[in-house]
Amino acid sequence: MATNNDINDINDTTIPAFGLGTFRLKGQVVIDSVKNGLDVGYRVIDTAQIYGNEAEVGQAIAESGVARKDLFITTKIWTDNYAKDKLVPSLKDSLAKLRTDHVDLTLIHWPSPGNAVPVAEFMGALAEAKTLGLTKHIGVSNFNIALMKEAIAAVGAENIATNQIELHPYLQNRKVAEFAKSQGIHITSYMTLAYGKVIADPVIEAIAKAHNATTAQVTLAWAMQLGYAVIPSSTKRANLEGNLKAQQLKLSDAEMAQMAALDRDERLTDPAGLSPAWD
């Protein structure tokens, strides 16, 4: 029988610490970003049905020459596809676009608007996708604690690899992160750079200067040091390359405390009709 420690161990290695985001990037821009990312060493790609770029991500991967077995690909199911007869067919469409027979991780992108599809129904369909071998792992995104509890009741915490949430120095989301940790569920931080807002932060600049690093590297290192996975995006090869090097940076306890003090509950992604009651 799995103990909590076992679950932690499994999930700690299930979600890679560093990946490439693709939100907002379309057409040739996403093809170039993914190709540059793979070329400089990224092996983890985060996309979603609603991003409208799965086919271009698939094209970039195919043209990169990187073997599928060396990649970790995440997609997210859009809210229109949560019903039990729609989720698996929609994931099969995503796989065709991505030119693969399975993804590594499939997430429920947002809570079902107006609770139109019950949590137990879409988590059950997601678990079925895993049983069918269409995805190695399953998880959720933008779930508050109450919704995480419902998802856990539906499929068990050991089957929920991650909750992908907005988390950056200005929105540290500690309640959700602590609850997830207590359940052995990994946190993936999205918008770790607060979509570029943290780049000019004076506190982060001072820490960066002390390490001869960039503010982006400091921010990404801070999140990884807290145990979160990160998936920053960039359209620039130099930024992609620099961000990846955050994995080599270690902040001191004092620097981590300075970063912790930057929290100001500043949420950047709060779409009406999709957002749950945030914790």
Ligand X SMILES: NC(=O)c1ccc[n+]([C@@H]2O[C@H](COP(=O)([O-])OP(=O)(O)OC[C@H]3O[C@@H](n4cnc5c(N)ncnc54)[C@H](OP(=O)(O)O)[C@@H]3O)[C@@H](O)[C@H]2O)c1
What are φ and ψ of residue 163, in 5° steps?
-120, 115
Half-sphere exposure of 113 (CA within 13 A, CB side): 8
Near ligand X by CB under 6 A, which window of 34-42, 61-69, 122-130, 235-243? Answer: 235-243
Active-site residue list: 51
**Chain residues 49-108 in contact with ligand X, contact rule CB under 6 A:** none
Choosing from 100, 180, 234, 249, the residue that interacts with ligand X (CB under 6 A) is 234
- Segment 106 to 135, residues that bind ligand X, using CB under 6 A: 109
Stretch binding ligand X (CB under 6 A), from 61-69, 130-138, 231-239, 252-260: 231-239
Q: Which of 198, 153, 151 has the alpha carbon at shortest distance from 171?
A: 198
Which helix (H) or strand (E) element contains residue 13?
helix 4-14
Which residue type sits at 14?
Answer: T
CB atoms under 10 Å from CB of 243, counted, come to: 26
Q: Which residue is nearest to ligand X (CB)?
A: 21
**Residue 238 Cβ, how far from ligand X at the closest point, in Å?**
8
Question: What contacts 149, CB < 8 A, 6 or more positions away?
Answer: none
Cα 76 from Cα 142, distance rounded (Å): 11
Sheet containing strand 72-77, strands side by side:
20-21, 44-46, 72-77, 103-108, 135-141, 162-166, 186-190, 229-230
Q: Does 216 bind ligand X (CB under 6 A)?
A: yes
CA atoms of 168 and 195, how far apart (whole Å) = 9
Write down the least CB distance from residue 183 to ligand X, Å: 19
Of 142 and 183, the one with the shorter C-beta distance to ligand X is: 142
Q: For residues 15 and 195, what is the distance between their CA atoms, to the nearest angstrom?
A: 22
Task: Output the six-digit token pair for 71.
Answer: 């990649």
Q: Say how far apart CA 152 and CA 148 lie, in whole Å.
A: 6
Rounded least distance, CB 233 to ligand X, Å:
3
Beta carbon of residue 270, minimum distance to ligand X (angstroms, whole number):
11
The size of the interface with ligand X (CB under 6 A), counted in residues, is 28
Nearer residue to ligand X within complex by CB, 95 or 223? 223
Nearest CA among 8, 10, 24 for reference residue 232 = 24
User: Which of residues 94 and 233 has its CB atom nearest to ligand X in the complex?
Assistant: 233
Q: Toward ligand X, which CB reaches closer, 253 or 264?
A: 264
Based on the shown chain and the rule CB under 6 A, indicate whether residue 267 belongs to the binding site for ligand X.
Answer: no
Q: Which of 11, 79, 94, 214 binds ligand X (CB under 6 A)?
A: 214
CB of 60 vs ligand X, minimal distance in Å: 14
Name which of 184 and 232 has its Cβ closer to ligand X.
Answer: 232
Q: Which residue has the tokens 């990187």?
A: 66
Contact flags string 168-207 toward ligand X, x per CB under 6 A:
----------------------xxxxxxx--x--------
Query: Contact positions toward ligand X, by CB under 6 A?
Result: 21-23, 46, 109, 141-142, 164, 190-196, 199, 214, 216, 231-236, 239, 242-243, 269
